[in-house]
């Protein structure tokens, strides 16, 4: 289905490109139509209820391990063709990929994304999204799926900007945060209720021969 593809010169996409060029990150409080955000949240909850979300690991490849003292979310990767709402989201993010390539010449080749559910009390300690031995991840994108979220629920994304300035983003449904993967340490603060998101990365071709 290609109905959700949007033109690369859409004002919303251009605003993200401009923010990344100027600041290295962007926050759009209303990124998706409300109905699509709601469908994605329902899909995430359904998969969680069916036991399809697995504890997330640290690191990559054979060295990956689950360490709940560092991160406590449960995840499932998106695959095309599983659900219409997910396919629509992937189409929109591919439009953003093209806009980023046109505006910033990043050479982004694909986008990978997973549902993430943080149960109450779970967190993710301060980290950077790019692996030391793998520079494919260029731009991180987090879409929040939480309805009626209030500040007292916690669960903020705390970003460490230049000069260690802290910026807390409330994980309110429909909000998208995009940032350069290698540049901004960040953490997820514990929340008092389930915290749902779609977390993903725009990737370029890596420097290793087997990319």
Closest CA to 198 of 36, 34, 78: 78
Closest CA to 71 of 189, 194, 197: 189
What is the reported pLDDT for 176? 98
- Mean pLDDT, the chain, integer: 89
What pLDDT digit, counting tens, does each position of 92-147 carry? 999 999 999 999 999 999 999 999 999 999 999 999 887 666 678 999 999 999 99
What is the reported pLDDT for 119? 94
Q: CA-to-CA distance for 183 and 95, rounded, in angstroms?
A: 23
Neighbours of 141 (CB within 10 A): 23
Q: What kind of fold does domain 11-55+71-204 have according to CATH?
A: Jelly Rolls (2.60.120)
Average pLDDT for residues 81-86, to the nearest whole number?
96
What is the reported pLDDT for 66? 47
26 contact partners, CB below 8 Å, separation of at least 6:
15, 16, 19, 20, 176, 177, 178, 179
Q: CA-to-CA distance for 51 and 130, rounded, in angstroms?
A: 28
The residue written with tokens 């802290």 in the block is 166
Token digits of residue 32: 């998706």
Average pLDDT for residues 4-24, to the nearest whole number?
94
Is the predicted pLDDT of residue 206 greater than 80, yes or no? no
Closest CA to 146 of 171, 119, 116: 171
How far apart, in Å, are the Cα atoms of 186 and each of 20, 67, 99, 172? 16, 17, 25, 17
For the chain, domain boundaries? 11-55+71-204
The predicted model scores a pTM of: 0.89
Is the predicted pLDDT of residue 57 greater than 70, yes or no? no
Token digits of residue 66: 């689950």
Between helix 34-49 and helix 84-104 the angle, nearest 10°, is 120
CB contact burial 68-93 (16+ within 10 A = b; e otherwise): eeebbbbbbebeeeebebbbbbbbbb
How, if at all, do strands 176-180 and 166-169 pair?
unpaired
What pLDDT digit, counting tens, does each position of 15-51 carry? 999 999 999 999 999 999 999 999 999 999 999 999 9
């Amino acid at each position: 289905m290609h109905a959700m593809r949007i033109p690369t010169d859409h004002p919303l996409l251009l605003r993200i490109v401009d923010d990344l060029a100027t600041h290295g990150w962007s926050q759009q409080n209303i990124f998706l139509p409300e109905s699509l955000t709601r469908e994605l949240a329902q899909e995430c909850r359904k998969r969680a209820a069916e036991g399809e979300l697995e504890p997330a690991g640290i690191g990559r490849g054979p060295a990956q391990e689950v360490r709940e003292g560092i991160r406590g979310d449960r995840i499932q990767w998106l695959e095309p063709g599983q659900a219409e709402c997910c396919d629509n989201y992937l189409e929109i993010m591919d439009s953003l990929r093209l806009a980023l390539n046109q505006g910033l010449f990043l050479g982004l080749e694909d986008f990978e994304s997973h549902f993430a559910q943080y149960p109450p009390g779970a967190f993710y300690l301060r980290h950077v999204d790019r692996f030391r031995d793998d520079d494919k991840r260029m731009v991180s994108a987090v879409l929040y799926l939480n309805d009626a979220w209030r500040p007292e629920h916690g669960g903020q994304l705390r970003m460490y900007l230049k000069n260690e300035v802290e910026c807390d983003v409330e994980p309110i449904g429909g909000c998208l945060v995009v940032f350069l993967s290698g540049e901004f340490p960040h953490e997820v603060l514990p929340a008092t209720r389930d915290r749902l998101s779609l977390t993903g990365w725009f990737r370029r071709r890596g420097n290793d021969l087997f990319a």
